[in-house]
Structure 1
């Protein structure tokens, strides 16, 4: 059994919840939303390296190839290019189809924050033990509040000291149910980070979502190389049904494990989250970048984007400027930004 781990970094998604900065070729993962480095560069930097890890495979769309290459810098990596978005199951199927059956694949999004990298690496070591026993491993985030915006994972029987069998997955719950789960214990947020043996996932996909895997397998077989990038065949990949890996495989398989971990994780899924994690707030809790003047204003997020922005008597507001687009909203309405993104493009 191989102990070699192949990191797979998922770079799909438009990140419309962070419009207007995140869109098109300037998707969320390529933006410096917390500090000077983009989320993608932060992901690459915390990707484990060493004798048991191969250089990462970056899974991205055709419109992001140039940006990925530019932001990779001196880091060694291979690119796997999906010709159109087909959700996470098909994207992961591409990576599985090109991998050696005994390789362990560590799949992680490129647009998350992980503050405690040593805790993340320790969890990977536990997950690798389980993946070598043919568990499909997901990493659960220890919840610190009754969050209604995440799915949850219920832990079942303990698997030694490494993790737990998954008892069930829970859809994004109403507040009352989230509060009950937090009080009961044994529940984790679903972070969308996975570790598994490639051959084990191949078999699971052939059982649970055969059409997705077979389309991805054909797309890899008929793909073409351009330097370090493998471009999956568009006609073959277009036949893959669009579904998430959770729905297509993880919720259906009977041998799924969770490794709970507290690692300072955030999916940075809203401007409210960006404000919460921003460093360098002023004494009034304002997080400001660019040329901004604030008077008698508290708890605001201002990203001036080259304009001169002034706030007077405002509280809990986001002002995001990107070119000719200006977003103004209460931070607690951050989940509604998709309405503006849809209307404005």
Structure 2
């Protein structure tokens, strides 16, 4: 019995401006129409039909739930981390969930933001690892390196313990280019994929031996877990006290039961714009592009247009990414510095690294069309049957103008229905709510005005999405 564990945390700074803190890369459609999370769920479903355990940040819960639903998975366990504590505690929560019903399944632990070009080779590698995992080994998958790479950690193999299975000699930190070349030339080193396969009990026992404090706090947090809609909320205080550590440092570098299966499946973690360029379909001049793009005398570049026409003329080795509110232009050799650029934006109090102009909510989405001193204009889309919470604002008033669909509006104790070209006014401090009672999306324009227009000026009284 194999249960997939999909780790969908992460803040997504290295693929800015497409990836944002509240919309990281695992929820983006980077290579075609499906998101990285959706591709991952489909990949593990080819191995097992058992419901996955998905671990994500609390602030990403509705994105995760919607994408799980889109691929036809309606029985996933979605565990919400109130704060990030790295992979060792996250996997511990999944293992505790897996054994909570008295069973002891094999856990296939994968990241939601990895790309695998040849999924059939991945399936074969998992098949090779089954017997080792069944007998209690902690298996990881070492990617057969295609080049010297300084952006990945490495695993050195020792002796062979079975058909296609190797004892782990050691884990290596990200090397400099000299060491990376030596690693690849030796044939003894593999990229560390961060994919694992083991019995739930074997991992918990390893934590008990090598990182008992992590196990203790995770057990305490999981014991106080509550169900909230489609989510499992673990105890915030207990989990916040848990040490932050990766599974590599906490367990794999210490255990005598570590094993490795080579993986030659076109794996990449798409950790930068340059690595995305490498796996994109390219034209005869080495250019990868997506969206409304026009290229002339352009070579070995990635051009990503999200909302408008982008023309690249006479450039080489360039990364050009356009979104509604930000544009990145970078030398392909400098893309690792995008993370530093995002840090500087944060230091200056900017918002472009946190949210897109278009923001998704459990009820639909809004697009911040315009803003200025004491006003903001949004285009709001409310899905059929969905509703904004019953709320009030202390510092702003709002005008709503219906563009299409039907709006059910509550102002105080009164309920009215608005249709196309009709409008209403919500004064400062007035309790109100908005619902789409129809069968088609509700589109409206919202004009906010007041002394403070931040999203945190919301006092909720009732909410069907558990955001009180």
**4+ runs deviating over 4 angstroms:** none
- Within-5 A mapping of 1:82-161: 82-100=81-99, 102-161=104-163
The alignment's C-alpha RMSD in Å is: 1.4
Structure-1 separation of matches of 2:284 and 2:164: 43
CA distance 1:186–1:48, shift in 2 (3 Å)? farther
Give SS of 2:306's match: strand
Partner of 2:53: 57
| Greater per-residue helix proportion | 1
Contact 1:48 1:121 in 2 (8 A): no
- Within-5 A mapping of 1:288-303: 288-303=289-304
Give the CA deviation at 1:109: 0.1
Contact 2:7 2:112 in 1 (8 A): yes
Partner of 1:202: 204
> Among 10, 19, 24, which residue is 1:27 paired with?
24
Unpaired segments ≥5 residues, structure 1: none
Structure-1 separation of matches of 2:45 and 2:305: 35
Structure-1 separation of matches of 2:114 and 2:325: 28
> Among 166, 187, 211, which residue is 1:164 paired with?
166
Partner of 2:273: 271
Q: Deviations over 1:20-63 (max 9, x none)?
A: 1111221101111111111111000111357x652111111111
Partner of 2:330: 329
Structure-2 separation of matches of 1:177 and 1:284: 31
Normalising by structure 1, report the TM-score.
0.95
Partner of 1:69: 65
Worse-matched range after superposition: 232-241 or 305-314: 305-314
Q: Deviations over 1:76-100 (max 9, x none)?
A: 3221111111111111111122222
Tell me, yes or no, if structure 1 residue 254 matches structure 2 residue 256.
Answer: yes
Higher relative contact order (CA 8 A, sep 6+): 1
Give the CA deviation at 1:133: 1.4
Give the number of equivalent residue pairs.
340
Contact 1:129 1:162 in 2 (8 A): no
Q: Deviations over 1:260-310 (max 9, x none)?
A: 11011111111011111112x333222222333332221111112213322
Give the CA deviation at 1:329: 0.5
Give the CA deviation at 1:107: 0.4
Higher CA-based Rg:
2
Contact 1:7 1:53 in 2 (8 A): no
- Within-5 A mapping of 1:213-232: 213-232=215-234
| Greater per-residue strand proportion | 2
Contact 2:164 2:262 in 1 (8 A): no
> Among 32, 38, 44, which residue is 1:47 paired with?
44
Partner of 2:183: 181
Q: Deviations over 1:309-341 (max 9, x none)?
A: 222211010111222211110111111111111
Normalising by structure 2, report the TM-score.
0.70
Structure-1 separation of matches of 2:26 and 2:234: 22
